[in-house]
Structures are given as structure tokens and as C-alpha cells.
Amino acid sequence: MSDRPRVKKTIHCYEINGTYHLLPIGQGIMDHEKGLATNEVGKLIWETLASGGDREEALRVLMREYEATEEDRPILEADVNAFLGTLQQHGFFESAWHEPENGTPARKVKIGPLTMELRIPDALFERYYVSFSTLADAPSAAQPDTIPSVTARTSATTGADQTVTFCAHHPLTKQNGQVLVRNEEVLIMETEDSFVILPLLGRYVYEISCAKDGREAFVYGTNDGTSPCMEELFSALRFPFLILAQARGLCVMHSASLLYQGKAWLFSGHSGAGKSTHVQLWQDTFGTPWINGDLNLLGIKEGQAVCYGLPWCGTSGISTPGEFPLGGITFLTQAPYDKVSGLASDALALSLAKRMITPNWTASMMQQNIDAAISLSSLIHGFRLECTKDPNAARVMKSAIDQI
């Protein structure tokens, strides 16, 4: 237990006919938390902890209140330690994070520059993360449009940027905070040190808790091994990664991507704009490989814009591990003709910021996204493509890229 224990905000101290009682309120009552009778010493300790004090501060309060000497200090110190032990026994301390109870081994995956340590069901790992548990070679100069081969990892990673643990139970401490986002699908809250995501439509995920810096996350739910369950759990694991990516200066964009001229080219647009259809036209016409069918991780490395493969790929089923220089981004709109035009850096930055799925739950998060979009827009090419779903659309777009 930390020397600065943080007591639950769902427990308050009340006096009833000369006796002090620690009683649950609000969420504490809903969670069936128990009460505790105490004396004046316990009341003083509790009030000190509730106001942000620690063990030593509680001891100083008692010595000052009872005008104690240094000879009395060991006795009061024993009282403080005993009361803290009682509080811990009754579960009166905040505990946002819980160690896994099933002993699932930790396995590391590499997604772009980020390493994740996953304690998740075997079937979930095998289905979605196996290819990301290896390191990919960079695209070779001789074969610039070949997706890099996957080779076994030879260097052990001692640490991880993020640890994600699946817990097959409801959270032991139900956190409440300021509601940032809510709709029919999800409710997102912010607490002092974490984000709490409550999926509202699914059957298998109860809650997702992630530290604000993204370093640690817990997914609470159930696992029956079925395909719908695996898909829902996998989708839930995307939230902690997005938080981590943003905290590390990266962003995730809703887009389909392909590899051409040794670079990643992204195609984005509103739902139904035809980004996946357009990338498929490139593959059918020119044989260019896909990178991802739905999402792409973007960043800047050594002054160059970079696109990283992600395991999350929507319904396309197309995801590729690896790191690719980012050539540019094209924003699609449907039209009865095929016409491409360039985008100025400010228009590109705005369009890019609008298509990010990296969290924009707060004003500061939105500013982070805008800053990332501005930085990227100065390093890449931007296009607007009004297009049909015919192969000529791919030819027109390829011609524009070739002219760069």
C-alpha cells in the first residue's frame, strides 16, 4: 500500500449520536459497499486522507490534536497503521487497476514504434496479433512495392509502452468521472488519472479503463470463445491503443492504404465514398498491394512522414505489419467523372484532422490532433479526387502521383 493512500469518494464520514460512521453514498451504495464505525482518532485520520494527506500527515494531525510528545509518537503511529489496515481490509481505498486473476502470460506485439504487452485470451491473440508479434524488414530498394516479409524477432524487449490486461469479471471498483462523450454506442468518462469507456451495445465487454498516459489498461468482460466475442474484445482493445498513440505524438486516420513507388498512399472519405473500392481498383489494374483496409497509424520519424501497419482494419480483413514512408493522402468524393486536384497544406491539415479517429474527447486532445495534422501536412502531398468506381479513376490518380 502506498504511503499516500487515496480513499474512495463514495465513502463519507458522518456523526450519529456521538459515534462516527464511514458510510457509502451514491455508487458505493449501488456497489453494496459496507460501512464502518470508528472513533474520533479514526475520524481525524479519515478526514486527513480525504483531503489529500498521507500517512505522515495523519500522524502529524493526531500529535497536534492530542498535544503528544515524541515519546507518544510510536503509540499514535501504531494507531494510524492499524486504521489504515482496517480501511484497506474494508476496501475503502481507490484502486483503479487490478492484477489479472487468471495468470495469463504476457506476450509482446510491435505496432509501429510502440510495443504492447498483452495479457489476453490465447484465441484473441492468435486470431489478430500473431503477425504483429514479429518485426518486419523495411521494403527493399529492389522491390519497392513488395510488402515486407515477416521474420522472427531476435531481440528481446525488456519493457513495453503499454500493458493491456483482460479481466474476466466486472471491475472491482466502478469509477465515475466527468462524462466527455456519450451516444447510443458508448459513454466515455474522465477521472483524475484515467479514461473509462463503457460500451453500451455489446454483450461481452463491460468496461475499459486506461491510464491517461496510455501505459496501462484493463478490459473487463466475458469470453465465451465465439467469433462475435473475439471481434468485440478486439475492437475494445483499440481504445487503449488510440490513447497511447496520441500520448506518444502519433495519430490514427480512417483511411485505406496501398503501397506504390515504395511509399504508402492513403485514401480517405466519408462512409460510402469508396476508399476501399478505389484501392481495389489499383490492385486490379496495377497490382499494387494493400497495406490496410480501414485504419492507418501516422507519425514523423527523423523528419519524414511515416505510415505504420495496424491490426485493426474494419471489415476489410486487410492489415499489414510494417513501416512505410508516407507519400500522400487523397480525399475522395463520388462523382460521374474522374478529376484530381492538389490540396494546399492548410486544407490538407484540416481534412486530415477531420478524418482522425485518435481521441478528440477534450479541447487539449483536439489540439494534439491539429498539431499532428499540421506537422504531417508539411511533409506529404494532398489531393482531392472526384471519381467514379471505374478503373479510369485509378489511372487518373496514378497519373497525378507520377507527375510529382
Q: Any residues with CB less than 8 A from the CB of 267 and at least 6 apart, and which?
A: 255, 256, 257, 258, 275, 278, 279, 329, 330, 332, 385
DSSP 204-233: SEEEEEEETTSSEEEEEE-----HHHHHHH
Q: Are 385 and 397 in contact, with CB atoms under 8 Å apart?
A: yes
Q: Does the model's pTM come out above 0.85?
A: no
Instruction: Answer yes or no: is pLDDT of 396 > 70.
Output: yes
H or E element in which residue 340 lies:
strand 339-342
Q: What pLDDT score does 144 carry?
A: 64
For 263, the 3-state DSSP assignment is: strand
How many Cβ atoms from other residues are within 10 Å of residue 378's Cβ?
11
**Order of all β-strands in the sheet with 19-24:** 11-16, 19-24, 36-38
CB 353 within 8 A of CB 300: no
The predicted-structure confidence for 109-161, as pLDDT tens digits, reads as follows 999 999 999 999 999 999 999 999 854 433 443 456 766 544 333 334 448 99
- In eight-state DSSP terms, residue 176 is -
What per-residue confidence (pLDDT) applies to 134? 57
Q: What is the pLDDT of residues 154-206, one digit of tens each?
A: 334 448 999 999 999 988 778 889 999 999 999 999 998 899 999 999 999 99
Query: Is 336 within 8 Å of 390 (Cβ atoms)?
Result: no
Please give the Cα distance from 375 to 377 (Å, whole number).
6
- Report helix, strand and coil shares of the chain as percent, to nearest 5: 30, 30, 40
Nearest-angstrom CA–CA distance, 241 and 220: 16
C-alpha R_g of the chain:
27
- Pick from 210, 214, 199, 240: which is nearest to 97 by CA? 210
